Amino acid sequence: MAYIRKRNRRIFLIFLLPAILILFLTTIYPMLYAGYLSFRSYDLAKPFVPRVFVGWSNYQNVLTTGDFLHALKITFQLMAITLSIQLFIGVGLALLVTQRLPGMGIARTLLLIPMMISPVIVGLVWLFLYFPELGYLNYFLSFLGLGPVSWITSPDWALWAIAIADIWQWTPFIMMGTAAALTSLSPEPYEAARIDGNTRWQVFRYVTLPQLKPVLVSLLFLRAIDAFKIYDIIFVLTKGGPGDSTEVLSLYIYRQSFTFWQMGVGAAASFVSLIIIVVLITFFFKSLNRDPMQS
Amino acid sequence: MSAITLRNVIKRYGAVEVVHGIDLDVEEGEFVVLLGPSGCGKTTTLRMVAGLEDVSDGDLSIGGARVNEVAPKDRGVAMVFQNYALYPHMTVRQNMEFSLKPLSLPADEVARRVDEVASTLGLAELLSRRPAQLSGGQRQRVAMGRAMVRTPDVFLFDEPLSNLDAKLRTQVRLEIAKLHNRLGTTVLYVTHDQVEAMTLADKIVIMRDGHIEQVGTPEQVYSQPNNTFVATFIGSPPMNMIPARVRQGRLEADGLLLSVPDRFKGVLAEDQAVTIGIRPNGLSLAKDVDHNTAPARVEVTEYLGNEALLDLRAGPHELIAEVPALGRPAPGAEVTVHFDPDALHLFDTASGDSLSL
């Protein structure tokens, strides 16, 4: 017995080893190295200059110059816009595609397509749509007597332009998860409500929504993590501009590291944002998930 | 309280007809049970009355008014579902309140009704619990309570006891019977369990393949079955069925020879193919051989306490007899079985219809 257990443990370790190795090489080591860098001065343009220990000065730099806080604000603005609209439209679409209507199976598949496209391609597609003079969007708006809108060249519109592209890409994710949850709800309570004469709104508000809540919270959680590190679409569409009007955290970190070549500052900013996201998301979802019946 | 009338009611799903033009009258305050095997259309019929399924053809009336096109909520019915259909995230109180929401009653009236029903059903202690924290029987009571708070004209029950264990089933069955006695509301109740049907019903409607086979009181369907289906469906163990022919005023069945009871003499033709039906308690063990006995061998005995069931073989026929447990024969014993002529049923083999007048 003891022998078998010992052997099993060895097999267990052998099977786990590749995963541990990859995790270490791609995540843990870079993270530790970034931690090391965040306390050093490291100019990428001068790779042979020794990386001197500078204490907390990189962190001081991040937290006292306004750029980081500005990027943080833009990130949360973008998250608030995209998550709320994605939730709203996603749940609406889910309610629609779970109806027993002709063509809903096809509609469901078609609606998933944006999600399957690489974000860089999504950025490029929308870049063409937003193009000030030649873009389709302004072309169609002109029929309505509107525009032209300087989608990506005006600081007022750029964030919305990014939000629209992100909403277009990720609403299907909310829809898919919600639709799956909707189809798993047992039909009898709905029939009971129908006989009792509850209105559609009452049924949705008091029967469907509370039962969907755990799923919606999980979906939002996944989307929030994803939205916090949004990069590709913005990089293609605006590169953080015009000015710094769409510079989210990931772009700020990129700029510090690879434009200003301040690797130490970039690493420090990464760590600060990691802490922020962990704390905020934990706090936000704990409060959202608290059972109102028990409080 | 309302009467329910079905006139030539048909249900089709696309080209498939599942309920074939049934006629049924449920009197005001009556407890009517739709009974039949799975797939016989009983639940579909109930759901048509509820308004959850459209009536494809025919007329459905509740309280004298045709309701084919009336929305479920406006039919004055309340339904209790097999799976209880409780809202899992609501407490017992909220579950009951939610069904009152459409009535827009004042809050104190809602509370009064919920409390009254809860105390009637013994749910007062459970009002703040969620369905997941209740036992099956308690959930079933909540489902009934939710139907009762609305004080409907008609209660519809869809196999309400089939998810409960045997002991609880008996208990809740009794509660349903008491409730009906007290409230006097019209009830339409679907089940495949004949014990439920026999104990609860004022009137049983036996259905098969979308047709009504017989409508009658429990006594009627038990003692005067219309056909072989009803005869074998009602009663446990089922009625013994023996194929036979009429020969010279007697019933001849492959080694079995019985005299024809007087009441059948006028209706039988020589050489007619008939099916002899006799319930297990119509068979007994006899000492002497006469015109109504046959030799048989005991294959298995099943002891039930007061009675015992004997699995008998008489020639090619397998029979079940219910005899007093005391002094029952041992397996393998050769016995003489007596067929009580008063308990004998005869059916036309071709049509399956009863030959009793």
Query: What is the spatial distance between Cα A68 and Cα A269, in angstroms, rounded to a whole number?
Result: 8
CA–CA separation, B230 vs B279, rounded Å?
A: 13
What SS3 state is found at B157?
strand
CB contact under 8 A, B99 and A188: no
Gap between the Cα atoms of A80 and A223, Å rounded: 11
pLDDT, one tens digit per residue, over B7-40 is 999 999 988 989 898 999 999 989 999 999 988 9
CB atoms within 10 A of CB B313: 13
* Closest by Cα among A70, A64, A81, A123 to A247: A70
For residue A294, pLDDT over 60 is answered with no
Strand pairing category for B273-278 and B31-35: unpaired
Distance to chain B for A180, nearest Cα, Å: 18
pLDDT band at A289 (very low <50, low <70, confident <90, very high): low
Q: Given its phi and psi angles, is residue B275 left (phi above 0), alpha (psi -120 to 50 degrees) or beta?
A: beta
> Can you give the pLDDT at residue A295?
32
What pLDDT digit, counting tens, does each position of A85-132 carry? 999 999 999 998 888 888 888 888 888 888 888 888 888 888 888 887
Does A194 touch chain B if contact means CB atoms closer than 8 Å?
yes
Res B1: pLDDT: 60
Given an 8 Å threshold on Cβ–Cβ distance, is A193 in contact with B84?
no
Give chain A's length.
295
The sign of the torsion formed by the CA atoms of B111, B114, B116, B122 equals: negative
Element (H, E) at A232: helix A232-237
Domain map (residue ranges) of chain A: 40-289
The CATH code of the domain at A40-289 is 1.10.3720.10
**pLDDT over threshold 60, residue A207:** yes
Contacts of A161 (CB under 8 A, 6+ apart): A126, A130, A151, A152, A237, A238
DSSP label at B260? P
Segment A128-156, tens digit of pLDDT: 888 877 778 777 877 887 767 777 778 88
Q: Which residues of A72-111 are buried (b: 16+ CB within 10 A; e: fewer)?
A: bebbbebbebbbebbbebbbebbbebbeeeeeeeeebeeb
pTM of the model: 0.76
Segment A12-28, tens digit of pLDDT: 888 999 999 999 999 88
Q: Average pLDDT, whole number, for chain A?
A: 84
Q: How far apart are CA A185 and CA B261, in angstroms?
A: 60
The token pair at B38 is 């799975």
| A57-64 and A66-97 helices, crossing angle to 10° | 70
Contacts of B157 in chain A (CB under 8 A): none
Taking each helix axis as running N to C, give the angle between helix A66-97 and helix A263-289, from 0 to 180 degrees, rounded to the nearest 10. Answer: 40
Domains of chain B (ranges, CATH numbers)? 4-232 (3.40.50.300), 237-348 (2.40.50.140)
Sheet containing B317-324: order of strands: B283-286, B334-339, B293-303, B307-314, B317-324
- The predicted structure's pLDDT at residue A290: 62
Chain B residues near residue A211 by CB distance under 8 angstroms: 88-89
Instruction: Compare CB distances from A195 to B79, B83, B103 and report the shortest one's residue.
Output: B79
| CB B213, CB B230: distance < 8 Å | yes
Contact, B158 vs B44, CB < 8 A? Answer: no
Of B294, B213, B283, B303, give the one whose Cα is nearest residue B255.
B294
- Which residues from chain B sit within 8 angstroms of residue A189, using beta carbons? 85-88
Residues of chain A found within 8 Å of residue B52, distances taken between Cβ atoms? 191, 194-195
The answer to whether B72 contacts A197, with C-beta atoms less than 8 Å apart, is yes
Of how many residues is chain B composed?
A: 357
Q: In angstroms, what is the C-alpha Rg of chain A?
A: 24
Give the integer Cα–Cα distance in Å for B159 and B85. Answer: 12
